[in-house]
A and B are shown apart, each in its own frame.
Chain A
């Protein structure tokens, strides 16, 4: 079945780059997403990538997709204290109303001074 896996924790120093990794099993995934969840809040869509792309950059965020290895990563450049949150990787297949988004368990990013 479908599965999305992430490591649970990541700690980086303020100003360094953070790289959050994710692996997925479903080769028919069409879109892959990164969401951010701050304490006490819902999820916020940060960025997404279509499965025929290798890379997408959006300001401090860079998404890399290795479709062969089913590996997705999110790089946050110049990590700030405001980046402390849980980051969820997710994938979906297709456009139909029956398609659903499968979430990983989330990576908690903490920032060291």
Chain B
């Protein structure tokens, strides 16, 4: 089925370890996003990529890096994990920023549940 695929679904890390969260979409969408979801706080944007080859910081970028490897893939890296990064991470994509609201919903993956001990 077409959509946004995130791997892994669950991960436990120790403080200081590094990890890359993978995201891929097969809808030929231009823009991709990484969010984190914490209890009682909704979703907060970490980084986004408006198109292949570009990335920009969102609301909470500290402690993260991203790579837009190609049009399909957008990865999120934690270089030195901290307990404050325990969260559920969602990747999303849209065809392009203009179509986002008009005709193309923002497609979300099912999330990666990350715990940092």
Contacts and interface: CB of A to CB of B under 8 A. Distances in A.
B10 to A, nearest CB: 11
B41 A96 contact: no
B73 interface: no
Contacts of A48: 101
A43 B98 contact: no
User: How many of chain A's residues touch chain B, expressed as a range?
Assistant: 20 to 34
Contact of A96 (B97, B101, B108, B111): B97
28 contacts: A4-B42, A30-B101, A40-B110, A42-B92, A42-B108, A42-B111, A43-B92, A43-B108, A45-B105, A45-B106, A48-B101, A88-B42, A88-B43, A92-B100, A95-B97, A96-B97, A97-B51, A97-B54, A97-B56, A97-B97, A98-B56, A99-B97, A101-B45, A103-B43, A103-B44, A104-B42, A105-B42, A106-B42
Interface of B: 4, 31, 40-45, 48, 50-51, 54, 56, 58-59, 90, 92, 97-98, 100-101, 105-106, 108-111
